[in-house]
Chains A and B, each alone.
Chain A
């Protein structure tokens, strides 16, 4: 998803700074983005669960690009809900990856963008954060926390002219969901990536990708809890 969005920015000739866990994958993606038109594509190997290294990475990004116009946070894991139910460690790890690491990075970057007084912070949250469901509520909890954090951050940074974009994709055919069955509602990473790019360029607030998740989630949020608790969604 982030790669597909980066492809759109590369076509515009952007300078990119890519952060990820695997050096080989980063190089593969950076080479591709350069071919597609990115003026630069720097790479930085980091597991964002290592919270104490965020500052160093962020400074490196500023040092190598001069200044940052946009930040897209799109890492995450879709953990095994059943495993989480049986293991505190598993649950904490899920929250660490999908929530705490995001909030940590947002804390650092928010101050930078607030001072700079322009720019855009976008984070890939999920429709799963709109309502807790028994099939994936640990993941949903992490995403709900991220969405709430972004809401507050948007409120804080709006006077500084910084846009904060909450991206809420539905099912997307990515390596993370490769093991799941694909249905009518599954979107391609290309279309979602382009949606992210558009939302960031326009400085939107909350975007559902594809758009039809907005009415779907509206209905799901409207179901009274005393009925919802009996459903298998």
Chain B
């Protein structure tokens, strides 16, 4: 939620642009007449996308954060229907006591359901469950011509596929229905294994996918030479036992103000990474934890994005296909390590081949790397462009939900179907991201091909 008199930001706090107007939406049947609005519109939830895909410079944002009601919950079948502004945290609070869990959850529970669909988010179980969109059974989409369409794999199937991963450009998702997965307890049995190299990571990942629903790794992105690609591999499963009361919930911390930019520099981060790597003496540690610290460790620190200071930060998240995945990933890690940029939040993960219905979805089989870079201006932008070069050549992809800077050429290489997608865009909708990667300005919008529905 944000105040009406302040233009909302994205999570990376870059770029800092202003919408000309923010319209709060309180009821599903009381949206403004979109066709009559003078500027392009974009639905906005809680601003948990990192770049500019949730921003609409000089346009109108529809604040969806007040649409937080549930429509129905079939406790026997695990089907939940809720409004688009409901957060994943709200859902978990409701469903976990009934023995259900989100089939796919991203690394924050403060995202909205509408945003999870529009970005087709994924989680630590991509190798098993695919992306969020795989478990969306249907949703209602409001188009600017006033049509309210129920979209599902059977009904308005094209629009269903376009809207999943469609970055909010196909209309307003009013409510959605998702399929949940059963659990026996809110606990996770997890194991943390040390690995010394990228090759070791790939081997452990391959050996874990069969028996572990959740896998992810932290990598020390500043290590170089022989230590390149060292880190920790975390794997886990929903626990079978029930006694969760033994584990106390911790209160979240809040970062109360912007850190000065010098606090996070190469040396402090290197020190953190080395300490973090050396702290676990044993090669492998097993424990049972509540689902919260396992899935959402960063949610425990509210407003952690302030650690990167006023200038904000970039997150670079890419997948390189398995074929020459090792070489491409090694090249990426080398380039990052050489640059001395990069941060402590670096993640490696293997993606499976379960494809999402989403036309413009990011997830695909391969090796995924995600890491943060404090915004240091051109120096950072040049490094990220360097990384793009490797990802482009490998036939990989960069995640729009995290992006604030990729070039139109990169985007169009990563998403060759983007032109096919444009026919499903609602002519009244646009975003800063979309104008950037299609190199269109607000005035040129009308020229994009629009399919009449």
Contacts and interface: CB of A to CB of B under 8 A. Distances in A.
A28 B24 contact: no
B29 A181 contact: no
A180 B5 CA distance: 8
Interface in A1-59: 24-25, 28-29, 31-32, 35-36
A160 B161 CA distance: 62
A87 interface: no
A182 interface: yes
Main secondary structure of the interface of B (DSSP, over half): loop
Contacts of A36: 70, 94
A28 B3 contact: no
Nearest to B75: A35
Interface string B24-51: 1011110000000000000000000000
Given A25-B27, A175-B26, A178-B24, A35 B73 contact: yes
A186 B4 contact: no
B69 A178 contact: no
Contacts of A31: 69-72
Contact of A188 (B1, B26, B29, B73): B1
A178 to B, nearest CB: 5
A28 B94 CA distance: 17
B24 A32 contact: no
Contacts of B29: 24
Nearest to B71: A31
A173 interface: yes
A175 B24 CA distance: 9
Interface in B58-95: 66, 69-73, 94
A24 B3 CA distance: 27
Contact of A32 (B1, B3, B66, B69): B69
Contacts of B94: 35-36
Interface string A179-191: 1111000101000
B4 A178 contact: yes
A186 B6 CA distance: 14
A39 to B, nearest CB: 14
A36 B72 CA distance: 9
Interface residues of A, number: 17
Nearest to A175: B26
A28 B72 contact: no
A186 B3 CA distance: 9
Contacts of B70: 31-32, 35-36
B5 A29 contact: no
Nearest to B24: A178
B69 A29 contact: yes
Interface residues of B, number: 16
Contacts of B71: 31-32, 35
B178 to A, nearest CB: 13
A188 B3 CA distance: 11
Contacts of B28: 28
B241 to A, nearest CB: 25
A144 to B, nearest CB: 28
B3 A178 contact: no
Nearest to A181: B5
A182 B27 contact: no
A36 B90 CA distance: 10
Contacts of A35: 70-73, 94
Contacts of A173: 1, 3
B2 to A, nearest CB: 9
A175 B23 CA distance: 11
Interface in B283-306: none
A216 to B, nearest CB: 20
Contacts of B1: 173, 188
A178 B27 CA distance: 13
Contacts of B69: 28-29, 31-32
A173 B1 CA distance: 10
Residue of A29, A182, A186 ringed by the most chain B CB atoms within 10 A: A182
Contacts of A181: 3-5
Contacts of B72: 31, 35
A6 to B, nearest CB: 11
Contacts of A175: 24, 26, 66
Nearest to A37: B94
Nearest to A179: B4
Interface string B1-30: 101110000000000000000001011110
Nearest to A28: B69
A102 B3 CA distance: 31
Given A35-B70, A173-B1, A181-B5, 17 more contacts: A25-B27, A31-B69, A31-B70, A31-B71, A31-B72, A32-B69, A32-B71, A35-B73, A35-B94, A173-B3, A175-B24, A175-B26, A179-B4, A181-B3, A181-B4, A186-B3, A188-B1
Interface of B: 1, 3-5, 24, 26-29, 66, 69-73, 94
Q: Which 6 A-B pairs have the closest CB atoms?
A: A35-B70, A32-B69, A182-B3, A35-B73, A175-B26, A181-B5
